A and B are shown apart, each in its own frame.
Chain A
């Protein structure tokens, strides 16, 4: 009848809309459906297996429903329906068939659980990931590097993440590489993946962690082996000596080192720059100039973006622990020159 036709039309329209959006819109940089690492690929295989079973069950059951609604709608003058109270055979049937489908789903599920449990192989690149409100700290014990927010890894080499938190629970999620893993204080979780494509992959925190949870982004940079080695070299190198800086950058260095009132407004109170300062409350800035974003992917790392961040971090990330210091525009310009030179 009319109502049913209308609903069927809506369903088809909705389905078509979805296909159009997913197929023709995009790109979707945080998609889980286009994996570029083994972790994501294993998950995707399993998901598709389950998905098609789900589609089949959906089609069968909804079709049955629609058929019943049309075929058995009341007709005037029709006799009273026969009083059927049950049928044991049917009950057994529609208990066994779902059970069998579930077994077919469960077996590869358990296989994939063990395959993706985060135990690394020999020779994996170990990175300690420490979650903070609202940024990511990365330490590479193999190289003695500490950096933040942008995780560089090497194409083809397995990455083994050891995840913990400094404060509340977060969740590390780079969808194109694989699933997420929570980052919990007092606990070390593991996540492992081998990226197979060079590129920049977006991610963000996926466990509500307070006011700026939505702004706790991350980037995973999968570098070709030689680029990765170069990145490691840069990260390990000391910053350029003060004498070699431009005048503006030297002013920036002074502004960075300035002890302000209150002391917690000083950059050096929270941030570390190799051979300059040793703060641990905020991201390590030794090579911040080489990053593509600031504020954990809140803004692009351009002069304008960095200036906006320095001017008022709280406006960009509500609740930010980095205060609005009240820097002058000259200070900001100088700091931008200095910080962008730290590559």
Chain B
């Protein structure tokens, strides 16, 4: 399998002097196409930072990040924005749909930002929404959608077009268990279609949907497991790798 997302020796430091905080310390992580990786860890362990650095929303203090083999550090700000439009999809806990746009317009947004004609983008958006069972809600504004529907729209937006990198930060955090499981199933399906995904979650049961689980503590990767013996085992990390 080809490596889609690769973090090499990535560190991130916030602040300076006495206020210095090491959010990530020399993290290495590779995600192949079609692989779904769950990132778990206590609060402040650096999970969200890892996700934002992988998605080019933040720059690492040191280390390298490569998407499809291209180093982000070699890309300009506009090239990184183009990468996010074409290759990377984000799903957030708070859905983060734009209230002024309908469900389908939210989905077409990255495509239209990338210059695709509105009609073409809308056809792709409707197809994506249809796949997620929201074809009849395409013209609805986010305020009129339920929490589960909003997150499915957010997933549709993250996957629409040729995107093959999915980064989800607590995608089920604001959902009940039924909707949460439904969302994870969708992410799993996307992964099986060849999308490389990283999911940050606190929920060990949901993490079990992933191919691999990475456990972070104090900014370090303290555990990786390929085959999950059970969610409970993740809560007893080894003291050293």
Answer yes or no: do A and B interact. Answer: no
